[in-house]
Amino acid sequence: MSVGRPLPGDVVEDAIDQPFWDACNDGVLLVYRCNICATSYWPAGSCTAHGMRDIEWVPAAGTGHLHTWTVVHQKYSKSFTDKPTVVAVVKLDEGPMLHTNLIDAEGTNLRVGMPVEVVFETIDEGAVLPVFRPLL
Ligand SMILES: [Zn+2]
């Protein structure tokens, strides 16, 4: 059954990011890491520190801190629930920032720097998204 909202791969076929989505299906969060300077980032096609393309996908710890967020009350599609959606930017412990959703945050006093952890939300068959929840 379709959820009625774009799924990974719906917008543009992207073979480069396919390992990331495959890993999400296995409950693993990946980031790119430079094999020369060990800088981690997501997403990028080359090292952001010096432009080299000697990079590979590696598992991330799945933890980080809340960098910023907004609470969306408008229901833009039938596929969204009636609950407000927390759209967030998480700074992963490895360094990259990831646009995501924050879940299980109702009643939580959100604050910049709040520790968070990844959880994997299945939104459709074969479509698993990394979202985050506060680490209490
Ligand atoms: Zn590098």
What mean pLDDT value characterizes the chain? 87
- Using the mean position of ligand 1's atoms as its centre, give its distance from the Cα of residue 64 in Å: 21
Residue 42 is classified by DSSP as: S
pLDDT in the model for residue 8: 62
With 0-12 CB in 10 A as exposed, 13-18 as middle and 19+ as buried, what is 33?
Answer: buried
- Using the mean position of ligand 1's atoms as its centre, give its distance from the Cα of residue 57 in Å: 13
- Using the mean position of ligand 1's atoms as its centre, give its distance from the Cα of residue 40 in Å: 8
pLDDT bucket at 1, cuts 50 / 70 / 90: very low
CATH architecture of 8-134: Beta Barrel (2.40)
Residues 6+ apart with CB under 8 A from 123: 3, 5, 7, 129
pLDDT digits (tens, 9 = 90+) for 70-114: 998 887 777 667 788 899 999 999 999 999 999 998 878 999 999
Closest by CA position to 66, among listed 103, 29, 119, 102: 102
Under a CB-based contact definition with an 8 Å cutoff, are residues 56 and 31 in contact? no
Under a CB-based contact definition with an 8 Å cutoff, are residues 119 and 103 in contact? yes
* pLDDT-wise least confident of 23-32, 41-50, 67-76: 41-50
For the sheet with 55-59, list strands across it. 40-41, 30-34, 55-59
pLDDT in the model for residue 136: 76
Give the rounded percent of residues in the chain with a pLDDT score beyond 70: 88
